[in-house]
Structure 1
Amino acid sequence: MSKIKRLCLDTNVYIIGIQEVNSDEGKILESIGYYGKQYTQIEAEIILSPELIDQIRRVGKYVWNKDKAGLVLSLIWSNLNIFYVTPDAEWRNLLKEINLTGNIPTEDIEIFLTAKLGLTDCFVSSNRELIKAIADFECLTPDISTNISNKYLSIIDN
């Protein structure tokens, strides 16, 4: 099992991982227990916020339908060890500050805040622009062969 305490996954990891179970993103979801506790390799708390949940719901309804999007969220809540970040005054202040600097794309700010205020040890995203903009914590892409598995997973050959 890994030593990571908190992990934040970008929306794209959830959507791609659920859509394509055998993808690198799917293997990440499997490793955190999304498909069942018996597959868990990373016992970290998984960071969520209202914005991340809303993005998963919106994109899920677009990609699948509202019923499957609801099922996806249900499995997240029931199968994962969740650390929930509630927006507060610090969140709102940082949101304003980051909006003014323009260092992070507007559509990604609240996902960044989810990871930052959730005190993530590692953020995983396919969004290279977002990863380049963040230097506050470790950021990895879902590429199993070169990235996250070398840090936190046993060899995954599924």
Structure 2
Amino acid sequence: MPQISINTPVGAITIFAFEDQIVALEWGFVEEIDPSPVLEEAQKQLGAYFRGDLRDFDLPLAPDGTEFQQAVWQAMCKIPAGKTASYKELATMAGSPKAFQAVGTACGLNPIPIIIPCHRVLASGDKPGGYSGEGGLETKRALLKIEGVALPLGSDQGSLDL
């Protein structure tokens, strides 16, 4: 499977493609790379994102998941950079307003974090909630900071400083 690794401010990441579509982004670095045009474009766009020069990714994505998960991930992609949504708001955006707990599960199973921006999803009361990526909440804070959103230092308290 084509893959490429890059170093980022939130750690090394490896991006995977299948049939010219991005299928996964994982933390960690692989020595054996197998680049492709779509991976090189992803690398370019991620570099621009981390420099603060790109707010919206334009990449072909093919995450593997259930119909509900797909709906949640598509809704996540509609949350603009620099903005956040609660699990409850995301559930409504995904067409299942009462399924906010299932939305949390779908966020945790997101196979293409950063590009599918699960870091923009917060618990009720603007609390950070969780983040399944490498570094947990610190990574979530760092990604939101790149986008101009500051989370409070306490992981379970406070409001967003927009």
Q: Into which bin does the TM-score normalised by the smaller protein fall?
A: under 0.3
Could you state the TM-score of these two structures normalised by the residue count of structure 1? 0.25
Q: Which has the larger helix fraction? A: 1
